[in-house]
A and B are shown apart, each in its own frame.
Chain A
Amino acid sequence: MLAFAIEDMLIEGGFRIAGVARNLATALAIIESGVCDAAILDANLSGVSAAPVASALALRGVPFLILSGYSPEQQPSAFSGALRLQKPCRPDRLLRTLRGILPDQ
């Protein structure tokens, strides 16, 4: 539900969706294919920590932000340094932040 809403928000905002991943394997595959310029991560993916995804993105220099229901104190250190947004998040703030982390094009 949330993913769809975010997808919708992004399309409205003029972005193209490279892919939606519900698990680690899919996420890593999408990153591998190199099609994404930025990513929005939930702190965990179907119960598994998204930390490996964050590392993979960081490795490739792909900017990302984290959307989570957990407060900053509760999130693992793997995410420290990344931009964090709390759920629920207003669409305009999400888009603004996303534009902010993308390199100027």
Chain B
Amino acid sequence: MTSPLESTLIAENADLRARLETAEETLRAIGGGEVDALVVESVAGPQVYTLQGLDAETSRLRGDMLAQVSDAVIAVDDDDRIIYFNAAAEHLYGVTASAALGRTRSTIHGLRWQRPDDAAAATTALRERGEWRGEKIHITQDGRELNVESSITVPRRVAGQPASLLVVIRDVTERTKHEEKIRFSEIRYRRLFEAAHDGILIVDPRTRKIIDANPFMTQMLGYPHDQLVGKELFEIGLFKDQAASQEMVRQLTQENEVRYENLPLESLDGRHQEVEIVANLYDEGDCSVIQFNIRDITERKRSEEHVKLLIAEVNHRAKNLLAVVQAVTQLTSKYGNPATFAARLTDRIDALAAGQDLLVKSQWQGVELSDLVVAQLAHFEDLIGARVLIEGPRVRLTTAAAQGIGMALHELATNAAKYGALSTPAGTVRIAWQITTAATPAFAMSWLEEGGPKVAVPTGKGFGQIVIGRMAQAAIDGIAEITFGESGLAWHLSAPVENALVLTEIGTIDEFAHNRPC
């Protein structure tokens, strides 16, 4: 039964013995002239020195160094059989030196060249110069793939023929992986920088000069990249002057971030933009940089302005409409029968609403008269085409005309339903309009009732009468005539075209004289 101390001693002893054996083998190999070169690690990589003609003492010294080296060293004879295999090689390939000696290299590791012509290049280099250094891939017996840097020399020549090879192998797998990670990272972040839809400027805080700018920035400013680098911010119009620029850096240094919500920026080619700037101070190794993120908010500002205008306009129109309702209320009350006030007012507001709908639908670009007639005769829509005939060309009314004629039509319809042609089953109404081609073109519209009960000329001046008379003609600065003939009420309205109709840009009227029964 061995004590822990004894076990430790036994293990250490075995280890020392193994190391001694390796060292002895190395020395023997060197002493026996089997090793012809020495590898010394230097900053530039493994350096190979030939050992020919060394005395025993120096050989031994160099042998010691060879054993210590962390790069794998393999020497082979003419038949590619391993005649030397150092400790690092044992470690790298997982094969002991005693197992490796006498075997060919291909039994120790697989080989893959990085580029197809490397193999030929290596052979040529070895033949012509006696040495070759390059990268390749070694595959170990347990399937590991290693990126290696190899340094191969031909240490001894006989009549120009390579006699044997000395190979020094450095495992650079970790380094290669790391480099690749960095490369992909660089690709990714460079892509972000290049493709960003915001301007990015990198500035040196000490000199306040631009170090780098992304493509979007060069586009925003109108300066090519090489004209931005090295310039100070105020030189490209980002700050007013050097003092302003200095102040910004000072603030930034203190607070690490500076934000400008709304700055005007003029590009080299005179484009005016509104921008939002955020500046941050970052550490980059042992110095700092300022990164500016610049966003073009011109469009956003324009939209905001537009929305503000629209809201104001909506407010204005709403107030106007309320004023009209107020007026209608006043006048309905003053000129009407108190008993029917609520009903009449409701009806009239309804008519206003119908007119308003059409105004909005046409976006205040002009209401189609036929649409207006149909809207104000909504109660009688099933009579349209039969007892109610509508005829006239396609014309668009101005807002004032639409409001005046709309209300007039409402009153005429209400009146016809109560006392006129639409109050009996036999009565008819003909609504027509045209543009007369007199010396000065005029807009003329008429409402003719027939077959209704005998009409009596109204005595009082109801509000309805005022609407179809004075108000209608005032709306278009024209003339309204109301007659009560044998057959029924006749209403005529006329005015110069430009007072009532929306004319197209070239000053003509849309689809002149096109009769369309609805």
User: Is A56 an interface residue when CB atoms closer than 8 A count as contact?
Assistant: no
Q: Given that A1-B403, A1-B471 are known contacts, is A8 also in contact with B319, CB under 8 Å in the complex?
A: no
Task: Tell me which of A1, A26, A87 contacts B319 (CB under 8 A).
Answer: A87
Q: How far is the CB of B23 from chain A (nearest CB, A)?
A: 97
User: Is B156 an interface residue when CB atoms closer than 8 A count as contact?
Assistant: no
Contact A69 B320 (CB under 8 A): yes
Contacts of A86 in B (CB 8 A): 319
Contacts of A87 in B (CB 8 A): 319-320, 322-323
Q: Given that A4-B466, A20-B474 are known contacts, is A88 also in contact with B331, CB under 8 Å in the complex?
A: no
Contact B317 A69 (CB under 8 A): yes
Question: Residue of B at shortest CB range from A43?
Answer: B316
Contacts of B312 in A (CB 8 A): 70-71, 74
- Of residues 346 to 404 in B, which have CB atoms within 8 Å of A's CB atoms? 398, 400, 403-404
Bound-complex Cα distance A69 to B316 (A) = 5
Question: Residue of B at shortest CB range from A46?
Answer: B400
B-contact 0/1 string along A1-32, CB 8 Å cutoff:
11111101100000000001011001000000
Q: How far is the CB of B18 from chain A (nearest CB, A)?
A: 95
Q: How far is the CB of A18 from chain B (nearest CB, A)?
A: 15
Task: Tell me which of B316, B331, B403, B474 contacts A22 (CB under 8 A).
Answer: B474
- Of residues 22 to 59 in A, which have CB atoms within 8 Å of B's CB atoms? 22-23, 26, 46
User: Is A102 an interface residue when CB atoms closer than 8 A count as contact?
Assistant: no
Question: Residue of B at shortest CB range from A86?
Answer: B319
Bound-complex Cα distance A99 to B3 (A) = 123
Q: Given that A22-B400, A46-B400 are known contacts, is A5 also in contact with B331, CB under 8 Å in the complex?
A: yes
Task: Tell me which of A3, A8, A22, A69 contacts B330 (CB under 8 A).
Answer: A8
Bound-complex Cα distance A87 to B477 (A) = 23
Contact A69 B319 (CB under 8 A): yes
Contact A4 B317 (CB under 8 A): no
Q: How far is the CB of B7 from chain A (nearest CB, A)?
A: 96
User: Is B141 an interface residue when CB atoms closer than 8 A count as contact?
Assistant: no
Contacts of B471 in A (CB 8 A): 1, 4
Counting residue pairs across A and B whose Cβ atoms lie within 8 Å, the total is 64
User: Which one of A2, A4, A8, A26 has the greatest number of beta carbons of chain B within 10 Å?
Assistant: A4
Bound-complex Cα distance A9 to B331 (A) = 10
Question: Residue of A at shortest CB range from B400?
Answer: A46
Secondary structure of the B contact surface, majority rule: helix
Contacts of B323 in A (CB 8 A): 2, 69, 87-89
Task: Tell me which of B319, B325, B327 contacts A4 (CB under 8 A).
Answer: B327
Contact B322 A74 (CB under 8 A): no
Bound-complex Cα distance A87 to B320 (A) = 6
- Of residues 281 to 324 in B, which have CB atoms within 8 Å of A's CB atoms? 312, 315-320, 322-324
Q: How far is the CB of A21 from chain B (nearest CB, A)?
A: 10
Contact A88 B328 (CB under 8 A): no
A-contact 0/1 string along B140-162, CB 8 Å cutoff:
00000000000000000000000
Q: How far is the CB of A30 from chain B (nearest CB, A)?
A: 14
User: Is B58 an interface residue when CB atoms closer than 8 A count as contact?
Assistant: no
B-contact 0/1 string along A81-95, CB 8 Å cutoff:
000001111010000
Question: Residue of B at shortest CB range from A69?
Answer: B319
Contacts of B91 in A (CB 8 A): none
Contacts of B398 in A (CB 8 A): 46
Contact B474 A88 (CB under 8 A): no
Q: How far is the CB of B140 from chain A (nearest CB, A)?
A: 82
Question: Residue of B at shortest CB range from A42?
Answer: B320
Contact B477 A22 (CB under 8 A): yes
Question: Residue of B at shortest CB range from A70?
Answer: B316
User: Is B407 an interface residue when CB atoms closer than 8 A count as contact?
Assistant: yes
Contacts of A4 in B (CB 8 A): 327, 331, 466, 470-471, 474
Contacts of B404 in A (CB 8 A): 1
User: Is B418 an interface residue when CB atoms closer than 8 A count as contact?
Assistant: no
- Of residues 212 to 257 in B, which have CB atoms within 8 Å of A's CB atoms? none
Bound-complex Cα distance A86 to B323 (A) = 9
Contacts of A71 in B (CB 8 A): 312, 315
Contacts of B326 in A (CB 8 A): 5, 88
Contact A1 B407 (CB under 8 A): yes
Q: How far is the CB of A80 from chain B (nearest CB, A)?
A: 18
Contacts of B474 in A (CB 8 A): 3-4, 20, 22
Task: Tell me which of B318, B322, B327, B477 contacts A1 (CB under 8 A).
Answer: B327
Bound-complex Cα distance A18 to B330 (A) = 22
B residues near A (Cβ < 8 Å) are 312, 315-320, 322-328, 330-331, 334, 398, 400, 403-404, 407, 466, 470-471, 474, 477
> Lowest 6 CB-CB distances: which A-B pairs, in order?
A5-B327, A69-B319, A87-B323, A88-B323, A69-B320, A88-B326
Task: With A1-B404, A22-B400, A69-B323 given, name 13 new contacts (CB 8 A).
Answer: A1-B328, A1-B403, A2-B323, A4-B466, A5-B327, A5-B328, A5-B330, A5-B331, A20-B474, A69-B319, A86-B319, A88-B326, A89-B323
A residues near B (Cβ < 8 Å) are 1-6, 8-9, 20, 22-23, 26, 46, 68-71, 74, 86-89, 91
A-B contact pairs, 20 of them (CB 8 A): A1-B324, A1-B327, A1-B403, A1-B404, A2-B323, A3-B474, A4-B327, A4-B471, A5-B327, A5-B328, A5-B331, A6-B327, A8-B330, A8-B331, A46-B400, A69-B317, A70-B312, A87-B323, A88-B323, A88-B325
